[in-house]
Amino acid sequence: MKKTRSDELKRAAAERAVLFIESGTAIGLGTGSTIRPLLELLASRLATGAVRGVVAVPTSEDTAHRCRALGIPLVTLDEYPELDLAIDGADEVGPRLDLIKGLGGALLREKLVALAAKRFVVVADESKRVRRLGTRVPVPVEVIPFGWSALLPFFEKLGATPTLRRAADGTPYHTDGGHYVVDCRFPHGIKDPAALARALARRPGIVEDGLFLRLAHLAVIAGAKGVKLLRR
């Protein structure tokens, strides 16, 4: 399969981000197309001895499967409740490195891992940068299946256009935790992400949301002019 420009940028960002992984560390590994080249690069560095003694907490079953296939040692967050580093992608990167994540469906585990890490590094290409969160992608909201539709008027009152995420066969999409995802699109972006996050956190039935605010310490952004490091 021919590589696209986007694939090349993701690879470039991964090549820089993998250098943050040091020997003897416990790390969190994210989910999605931006992280896949990083997994390959990490596996290569482990195989050659460039780094040693690294163990990883995967944020999804997909990442866990890929790590096992590549020979990356896995542990659980119960075994390592404090991680040295977490690396993950993002669907949007806004001002102060606030993020929207979760289009890959792993937002709950991704947020748990990000919060457990001493440093959280985001890897993305320049197309993910926005001036206002919510202008390009919806905010994924993970909800329990019971009574999920009763949440739709609440989302609408917050200014969102909510849509239940569905699998390829038309049935409701299920996260690794067995929950549904409602994608909340804001036609003009999100005016106050912090206020939105607070409102979502207070509502019963909502498990987690895809707003990752003031969590990232560093972003590795690949673009036409090379790779940039952005700090919060």
Q: For residue 30, give the nearest of 78, 79, 83 by alpha carbon.
A: 83
Query: What is the sign, positive or negative, of the torsion defined by CA atoms of 53, 57, 62, 65?
Result: positive
**Residue 92 is a catalytic residue:** no
Kindly report the number of other CB atoms within 10 A of residue 12's CB atom: 19
71 contacts: CB under 8 Å, gap ≥ 6? 43, 46, 47
* Catalytically annotated residue among 8, 22, 79, 110: 110
Could you give the residue numbers annotated as active site?
110
